[in-house]
Structure 1
Amino acid sequence: MTEKPNERLEQRLLKVISKEVRGKRVSCLRGFLRGLSCIFYVLVQLRLWLHKHRIIRAKTLGCQVISVGNVTVGGTGKTPIVETFSRSLQQKGRKVAILSRGYKSRKTPFWDKVLKKNERLPRVVSDGERLLLNSELAGDEPYMLASNLPEVAVVVDKDRVKAGKYAIRKLGCDTLVLDDGFQYLKLQNRLDIVLVDYTNPFGYGNVLPRGLLREPARNIKRAGFIFITKCPPEGAPELKAKLREMNPHAEISECRHTSKYLQNVYTREQLPLEALNGRKVSAVSGIAVPESFENGLRRLGAEIVHSAQYADHHRYSQQEIIETINQAAESGAEMILTTEKDAVRFPRIERCDLPVIYLRVEIEMLSGSDAFNDWIDRICFR
């Protein structure tokens, strides 16, 4: 497994934050990170205060704006929620555009920025009719959303005010969904949806860089709707009660990610989930919580004989895939399993000795589905 230096650093820091590693040096490092967290905390709260008192003014675009985001960094299962929400709005008659910053998409060359080339227009991944960009240019999550939502526009730009104006004026959209938008305060008059990961709801209890919180957990009070993701089948009553104390007014839904089917990355052939039962597989993932993916494969009856874990949003090279296939074959694997988010980052290869399959996952609501449908209706018929 080949990792870039920044990916190795990211994984080492995560082990320090989670107290997976111990020792005198590590304790000193955690103390240093705690000091940085205090500075970060003050800056975050100051920014919120400036926006709240309109010292920094937000923009109004004259249409419905919904943000879907987290209070923590890392994987909370946000993309399937964005997909479900956007599809529901589109099916109710809204012309929807998803606005994304395109994390880990190809950057604009430095001299193009200096000369202000290609900076006037945002990147349109999909105009609601056609898929226009690949995953490298768009970013893996915007590309995946555009592929799964053929009638929803997907626009990528760090400046989502500019992206929103473009979606309204050029694509005729009347509803904007901000992907990862809870901390994006430049757009006013919006509804905030926040996702909380049942397995690590408050990011080890500290803001960055000592913990994984983007802002203090109590700021979840800004949310109008809270999804508790990755719940066990019985739900999350204790976490739900705690969130209700933090935010008495928000609707709260417990949900989990449910596997739907398997699909070949290269041939697009679909297979039933039963095809995994009793099979020896290689698990390959570049996501925030690879353990959840691998545990899901085991629950479906697969035996993992080889595993390759990369940093979140890792962009695979052709050589890495070839090496992974060879290592998996040597380990006795019958197929290679990956996530849908990883699949869009897999390069084309000329020869594939093992089938490369991704697991299609969708959201299943365990509670709060009526409240969710009421929310959709209020948005669509406002």
Structure 2
Amino acid sequence: MEIWFDFDAGFINWAVKSNAGREVILNKYFVLKLVLLLGLMDLLSIVYLMVFYVTSIDLTFLININFFLLLFVLVLGALGADFRVLIRSKFNFLFLALFVISVIKLYFSALESDDLSVYFIFTYFYTLAMVLAALLFVSRFHAEDYDEVFRLFYRFAKLYLIIAVILILCYSFLYFTGSIYYFGLGTNIHYAVPFFVRNGYGLFIVLLSVVALSGKRAVMVNFLVQYGAFYFDRYRRHKIILISLVSSLAVVAYFLITETNLLYRFQAVFAVDWQDETSLVAAFGGRFEELVGIVNYFEMHPLNFFFGAPPGDFYMYVASTGLYDYNDPKNFSHVGPFAFLFRYGLVFTALFYLYGLYLLFKYFDPKFPFYLVFVGILSSSFFGANLFSDPMAWVFIGFFLKYRHVSLNLKKSLR
């Protein structure tokens, strides 16, 4: 039965006060539809950026509101879960233990220091809360739910991809007509692309062109990693075809770099001047300076290298763009391994990424969309902070872990 989202005052009153209403609110499919709806609303961030660049009206704070709504809905969905799964699953238990250790770290740090930031304490535990809430919610689904779960995610991916393509084209049009000065639009299309990699070379070429028009290096890398894994799996026994595909892509990349301005952000990496702060920011988007700040922090607090900084602690981010100088406190990084290292220490970071690599090789199946999304999430973690801010990343990770034994070869096509 389809559940329609009519959130008027009468519906809310009925949902809260009646048993039937509470059953609907806690229904796992109802919650999943809400999660996917809020996942689509992530695309509003593109609209907010376009509005900001064109009118200087800053609405980007609304992005965080969407994240908080997602967390709230996931907590709601987690209420119907068996909390013992946090102990039964090694992966879940790892984050439960991390949460407990973080509380202990906060207690002893608060006794010794008056410099802890309340805001950074909040963001620290926000990340852990969204991980646990997502994993608990996904634990409510079982093997017999797979077909319906896949159907809902397929529809989500289709809508996400269509809307993202339209908005990227609008953004690039505004850039090339001079209405927007910054060329670089980040999206999470790595959540959607894996559901359509089997749709042929035509779609690949179209999406590759659109991604190039976005001007964002991380989006391009994630896109190529996902499609690369898929085509490697398809043609690994046909080396001539595989070599032809790679060669063709290399020729196209060379043409775009040398004859157009679409990939100029990649050129900044190759032309970086390691003695020039402005050049470093242009080449790495401020990430190099984040690493320097984290290294400096660990030099002052060597024990925290193994167990992570306490909640509320921070490092100093110092960078210069040529127009603006930054000297700001931070408690995360856009380079995932260093962000995990700063917050949670070497032990947890090593366990997390080693387990991620284990899953990539153990359950290698690029035909399985949830696997390929997991590939994209791990890849994107080296360029962005989604694992620390976006609950959707952990929803996808949860469903990959839940259904990692499933092969799409045995499932009917829902197209």
TM-score calculated relative to the size of structure 1: 0.24
Structure having the higher Rg: 2
* Higher helix residue share: 2
Q: How high is the TM-score relative to the length of structure 2?
A: 0.23
